[in-house]
Amino acid sequence: MLQLPPAMTAALPLLHRLHDHQFEGVFVGGAVRDTVLGLPLKDIDIATSASPQQVMAIFPKCIPTGLAHGTVTVVHDGIGYEVTTYRIESGYRDCRKPDHVAFIDNLDQDLIRRDFTMNAMAIRQDGALYDPYGGMVDLRLQRLRPVGAGDERFQEDALRMLRAIRFLAVYRLYPTASLWRALIRHRELMRHIAMERVQAELDKMIGSDAPASALGWLGGSRLLNYTKEELPWTPQDHEALKSSRLDLLDSLDERWASIFIALSYTADKVKSALKSLRFGNHRIRFIYSIIHVDAIMAVATVESERRSAWLNVVLAHGEAIAHSWLRCAQAAGCAPLHRDTEQLEGLRRQLLEMPVRTLKELQVNGNDLCRSLGMRKGPWVRELLQLLLSEAASGELPNTEAELLERANIWRTEVNIDEQSNP
């Protein structure tokens, strides 16, 4: 008998209630696998011999979230649990979802339709592990094996190929020879998978504890060369990533940015890849900003140029993006600047020692300038504030009201601001 974790114990009343009504109910899926491995649980899924209508009759609070596929969400103590009727599937014309679903009352037949043996185990209400297809043995041997024939599993749902890559990396497994051959044989089926689903799986891989391993398996499989929309990925890319340290980064999108830096992708290439993968605009802007900073810093080859470029980067993109780039550059570890920890540390010190980094930190504002110079507001205000910010940030000009206004009056005379800015 297994010692059930608290999250699973909290759901036991659902199994007991199904049993009280003469139906079988078991825990299935990832929660079973992770319980066996002693890992934290995410979602708790339940499979049952009861039909969806019978489930809704048994439990007082239900949400019919997927009746066509036998799924009802049962709310217990404020938590929603997906309860799905045992089923068999057939007719996978789009290599993703079944055309026909039939409800059954046989657990073995329900488990055999699943992807891999480690995901085809169940836990009964008494804590007994039910493992008809050898998932436990495969986990002990650190191997990933399909339930039945790999060819059939991947033809039923091509997304399982990407899931296989993720499982290999995250659970430190090795594929059986038959699984790997089937994956290579059917990788062209990736064209059937929506790019949003590809992005979701890649996010899980890159955000995992083993991103480097996932990228290595991806490179070996070349699955990304067969996606519905073209991705700028070459067989050599995973070689370029071998020296990267994505595990140093906590942020998923910083990991993405670091990957693109390591691969020396241009900003346009990055934007194209992110759009193909259906990234949201906010994520695209964040990653693109880091790549843009990297392009700026890459051309600053001498110390004076580098300090000046870095000052402009901080003022233009902000302190947060600057810190993100420093982390991403260190993790990428490819170009000479990225590998030079002393130079990166120097830039970090320069950032921390800057007396002022934003317009809000200046001791004068637009109203102060208008009043001191006796001028009306116009585009000149922001331009002059940016000049003052640059001087103050570099330490060439003290960030005091008197010094800033004095310098503004000098510039007014030098560049004839009155004529440029007033009608």
Q: What is the DSSP string of 375-415?
A: ---SHHHHHHHHHHHHHHHHTSS--SHHHHHHHHHHHHHHH
CA distance 95 to 157: 5
The token pair that represents 193 in the structure block = 């998978």
Instruction: Quote the pLDDT of residue 421.
Output: 47
For the residues 219-224, what does the mean pLDDT come to?
92
pLDDT value for 18: 97
Which tokens belong to 265? 């992708």
pLDDT tens column, 127-176: 999 999 999 999 999 999 999 889 999 999 999 999 999 999 999 999 99
- Segment 348-359 mean pLDDT: 94
Compute the Cα dihedral for 176, 177, 181, 187 and give only its sign: positive
- Does the structure show a pLDDT above 90 at 282? yes
CA distance 389 to 298: 24
CA 35, chain centre distance (Å): 24
Q: What is the dihedral of CA 157, 159, 160, 166, to 10 degrees?
A: -170
pLDDT of residue 237: 75
| pLDDT tens digits, 18-48 | 999 999 999 999 999 999 999 999 889 999 9
Phi, psi angles (nearest 5°) of residue 296: -65, -45
% of the chain exceeding 70 in pLDDT: 94
SS (H, E, C) 248-317: HCCCHHHHHHHHHHHCCCCHHHHHHHHHHCCCCHHHHHHHHHHHHHHHHHHCCCCHHHHHHHHHHHHHHH
State how far the alpha carbon of 11 is from the alpha carbons of 28, 84, 247, in Å: 12, 14, 34
Q: What is the mean pLDDT of residues 354-371?
A: 94
pLDDT-derived band at 94, boundaries 50, 70, 90: low
Lowest mean pLDDT among 63-72, 203-212, 277-286, 361-370: 63-72
Is the CB of residue 247 less than 8 Å from the CB of residue 255? no
Query: Within the chain, which residue ranges are assigned CATH 1.10.246?
Result: 363-421
Rounded to whole angstroms, the maximal C-alpha distance in the chain is 92
Say yes or no to pLDDT of 422 above 60. Answer: no
Determine the topology of domain 142-227 in CATH: Hydrophobic Seed Protein (1.10.110)
| Residues facing residue 26 across a β-bridge | 47
Q: Which residue has the tokens 């009861």?
A: 50
pLDDT at 74: 96
Using CA atoms, how far apart are residues 45 and 121, in angstroms rounded to an integer?
Answer: 12
Numbered ranges of CATH 1.10.110.30 in the chain = 142-227
Assign 182 a pLDDT band (cuts: 50, 70, 90): very high
Strands 122-123 and 45-48 come out as unpaired
Instruction: Give the sign of the dihedral formed by CA 24, CA 28, CA 31, CA 37.
Output: positive
Rounded Cα–Cα distance for residues 423 and 420 (Å)? 8
One CATH from 1.10.3470, 1.10.246, 2.60.40, 1.10.10 for 363-421: 1.10.246
Q: Mean pLDDT in the chain?
A: 91
Would the pLDDT of 211 be above 50?
A: yes
pLDDT band, residue 327 (cuts 50/70/90): very high
The pLDDT score that the predictor gives to residue 243 is 76
* CB 374, CB 411: distance < 8 Å: no
CB 117 within 8 A of CB 147: yes
Q: Where in the chain is the domain with CATH 3.30.460.10?
A: 1-141
- What's 189's DSSP letter? G
CATH entry, 1-141, from 3.30.460.10, 3.40.50.2300, 3.40.1670.10, 3.40.50.720: 3.30.460.10
Cβ contacts of 19 within 8 Å, gap of 6 or more: 25, 125
CB 310 within 8 A of CB 347: yes
